[in-house]
């Protein structure tokens, strides 16, 4: 049986590495550098577009739990991420350029993976001797997007994803900024820009009236995905919405005043050298000049130098509950599997996980073995169950503790409840695959 993987993003690379390490020959197709999507700039594999954060590493967090489960299942990309880690408190953040290089080198050096740099226009579902994993991502476009629409009966949905701006470290006013992680967790890896009440209200007002960039023709109608909401859209939902979201001041004390800020913007290191920082939660579609004007109202960013402005682009995902089976294969074309954010697995780590799960399903098919069954108590099992459950308005979903079945005994303390959920999940995963 022939194995094709379309797309060398997070999911495609994870799938290719898993299958190759199991001794299978894989063809990995990548359109870069001959063709780039509207959001991609790096010619390497596993390019991170939105952020450099792979979220929390603690076991008692949803993302941390998912990472631990992936390690048990044979993950490769998380190992690469740790090699390229930058300081981010309790989160796993990476130097994006270094991470892409590391993954690219790993894929190229792994026996059994044949890389083909070309644009794939057709899925090729009629090939009886071929198993295909489509991992072309949420920006799939052109002839391939049309072919997927043909296979799925046009049952695809769209949302928007926005990337945050990046500023240089040397341009920051450190007289107004302080270093700290919330509640003192980990090292003081985040830079904090504290707002007082008057400053925040002026910023909120300016943000609401700032001019937005026009969307590209390929973007179609604007439907915002709640998990990656542009900051200006959030501002329009009320004066305090940002204060309860990315600008929440809880767990922080401004050393200049001795008090908690009215609101707080966090900056996270973008690279190992800490020469660049991104504005956490500041995904945006404002015009570049407006970004500079409004974001320089943030304390400490009065003279900020922007090395990348925020951008917004279309993301496409399948109506997975109707289209995909529990093995992530199309119900109508069982030799065609899907992986990555196009399935509704929302997030970097989630995308890696879906590539790993799709690869394991392909392996089972090749071995004529049953489809791997992941306990519902696990994050992998819960994510698969989510995208397989029909709903009137299916939307992408990232890992979160709310997906897991409740504990038999109620635990009021959230931290202890999450610890118990994580321990239960790992026990179930180890019993099944350890």
Predicted TM-score (pTM) of this structure: 0.81
Helix (H) or strand (E) holding 120: none
Q: Say yes or no: 412 and 347 in one domain.
A: yes
Q: Rounded to the nearest 10 degrees, what angle do helices 62-73 and 348-366 cross at?
A: 30
Domain end: 298, 313, 328, which one?
313
Ramachandran region, residue 337 (left: φ > 0; alpha: ψ -120 to 50; beta: rest): beta
Q: What is the pLDDT of residues 297-328, one digit of tens each?
A: 999 999 999 988 888 777 788 999 999 999 99
Residue 223's φ and ψ, nearest 5 degrees, are: -125, 115
Q: In what order do the strands lie in the sheet with 2-6?
A: 113-117, 26-30, 2-6, 130-134, 336-338
Q: Say yes or no: 116 and 250 in one domain.
A: no
Give the β-pairing of 311-318 and 113-117. unpaired
The alpha carbons of the chain give a radius of gyration, in whole angstroms, of 22
Residue 341 structure tokens: 């954010």
Q: Say yes or no: 130 and 263 in one domain.
A: no
Alpha carbon distance 307, 330 (integer Å): 41
Give the β-pairing of 91-94 and 2-6. unpaired
Give the β-pairing of 263-269 and 191-195. antiparallel
Q: Which of 377, 373, 431 has the alpha carbon at shortest distance from 404?
A: 377
- Write the DSSP symbol of residue 213: P
pLDDT computed for residue 395 by the predictor:
79
For residues 401 and 62, the answer to whether their CB atoms sit within 8 Å is yes
Domain holding 179, by residue range, is 163-313
> What 3-state DSSP class applies to 335?
coil
For residues 100 and 44, the answer to whether their CB atoms sit within 8 Å is yes
Q: Say yes or no: 95 and 214 in one domain.
A: no
Q: Say yes or no: 105 and 208 in one domain.
A: no
Alpha carbon distance 221, 415 (integer Å): 40
What are the angstrom distances between the C-alpha of 428 and each of 328, 343, 431?
22, 25, 5
Lowest mean pLDDT among 21-25, 67-71, 299-303, 408-412: 408-412
The percentage of the chain sitting over the pLDDT mark of 90, rounded to a whole number, equals 73
pLDDT tops 60 at residue 274: yes
Alpha carbon distance 50, 52 (integer Å): 7
Q: What angle do CA 219, 6, 57 make, to 5 degrees?
A: 80
pLDDT tops 70 at residue 216: no
Q: Say yes or no: 361 and 385 in one domain.
A: yes
pLDDT computed for residue 175 by the predictor:
96
Mean pLDDT of 184-206: 92
Alpha carbon distance 395, 201 (integer Å): 32
Going along 12-102, which residue ranges are E strands? 26-30, 53-56, 85-86, 91-94
Mean pLDDT of 79-96: 94
For the chain, the distance separating the N- and C-terminal CA atoms, rounded to the nearest angstrom, is 28
- Count of Cβ atoms closer than 10 Å to residue 17 Cβ: 27
Give the β-pairing of 91-94 and 85-86. antiparallel
pLDDT computed for residue 311 by the predictor:
81
Averaged pLDDT score across all residues of the chain: 91
pLDDT computed for residue 288 by the predictor:
94
pLDDT computed for residue 50 by the predictor:
74
pLDDT computed for residue 20 by the predictor:
98
Q: Say yes or no: 295 and 218 in one domain.
A: yes
Q: How many domains does the chain contain in total? A: 2
Q: Say yes or no: 362 and 403 in one domain.
A: yes
Q: Say yes or no: 149 and 167 in one domain.
A: no
> What 3-state DSSP class applies to 51?
coil
- Give 330's strand partners: 324
Helix (H) or strand (E) holding 14: helix 10-21
187: pLDDT confidence band, cut at 50, 70 and 90?
Answer: confident
Q: Say yes or no: 199 and 323 in one domain.
A: no
Domain end: 286, 313, 340, which one?
313
CATH number of residue 425's parent domain: 3.50.50.60
- Give 139's strand partners: none
CATH number of residue 182's parent domain: 2.40.30.260
Alpha carbon distance 106, 12 (integer Å): 13
Domain end: 289, 313, 337, which one?
313
Q: What angle do CA 242, 243, 249 make, to 5 degrees?
A: 135
Q: Say yes or no: 220 and 260 in one domain.
A: yes
pLDDT tops 70 at residue 227: no
> What 3-state DSSP class applies to 55?
strand
> What 3-state DSSP class applies to 63?
helix
pLDDT tops 60 at residue 220: no
CB burial of residue 33 (10 Å; 0-12, 13-18, 19+): exposed
Q: Say yes or no: 179 and 108 in one domain.
A: no
């Amino acid at each position: 049986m022939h194995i094709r993987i379309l797309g060398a993003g997070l999911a495609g690379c994870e799938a290719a590495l898993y299958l190759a390490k199991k001794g299978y020959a894989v063809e990995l197709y990548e359109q870069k550098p001959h063709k780039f999507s509207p959001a991609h700039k790096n010619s390497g594999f596993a390019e991170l577009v939105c952020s450099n954060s792979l979220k929390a590493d603690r076991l008692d967090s949803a993302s941390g739990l998912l990472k631990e489960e992936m390690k048990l299942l044979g993950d490769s990309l998380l190992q690469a991420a740790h090699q390229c880690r930058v300081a981010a408190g309790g989160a796993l953040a990476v130097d994006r350029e270094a991470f892409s290089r590391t993954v690219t080198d790993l894929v190229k050096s792994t026996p059994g993976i044949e890389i083909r740099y070309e644009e794939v226009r057709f899925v090729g579902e009629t090939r009886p001797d071929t198993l295909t994993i489509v991992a072309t991502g949420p920006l799939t476009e052109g002839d391939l997007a049309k072919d997927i629409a043909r296979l799925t009966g046009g049952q695809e949905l769209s949302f928007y994803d926005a990337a945050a701006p990046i500023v240089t470290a040397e341009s920051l006013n450190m007289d107004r900024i302080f270093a700290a992680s919330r509640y003192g967790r980990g090292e003081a890896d985040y830079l904090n820009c504290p707002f007082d009440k008057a400053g925040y209200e002026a910023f909120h007002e300016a943000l609401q009236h700032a001019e937005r960039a026009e969307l590209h023709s390929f973007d179609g109608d604007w439907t915002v995905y709640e998990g990656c909401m542009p900051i200006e859209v959030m501002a329009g939902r009320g004066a305090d919405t940002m204060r309860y979201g990315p600008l929440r001041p809880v767990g922080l004390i401004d050393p200049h005043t001795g008090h908690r800020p009215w609101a707080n913007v966090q900056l996270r290191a973008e690279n190992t050298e800490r020469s660049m920082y991104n504005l956490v939660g500041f995904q945006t579609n404002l015009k570049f000049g407006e970004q500079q004007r409004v974001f320089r109202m943030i304390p400490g960013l009065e003279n900020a130098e922007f090395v990348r402005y925020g951008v917004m682009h279309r993301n496409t995902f399948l109506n997975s509950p109707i289209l995909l089976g529990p093995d992530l294969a199309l119900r109508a074309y069982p030799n065609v599997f899907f992986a990555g954010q196009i399935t509704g697995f929302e997030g970097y780590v989630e995308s890696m996980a879906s590539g790993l799960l799709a690869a394991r399903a392909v392996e089972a098919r090749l071995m004529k073995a049953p489809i791997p069954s992941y306990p519902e108590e696990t994050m992998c099992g819960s994510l698969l169950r989510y995208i397989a459950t029909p709903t009137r308005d299916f939307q992408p979903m990232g890992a979160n503790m709310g997906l897991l079945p409740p504990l038999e005994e109620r635990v009021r303390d959230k931290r202890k409840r999450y610890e118990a959920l994580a321990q239960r999940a790992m026990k179930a995963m180890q019993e099944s695959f350890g």
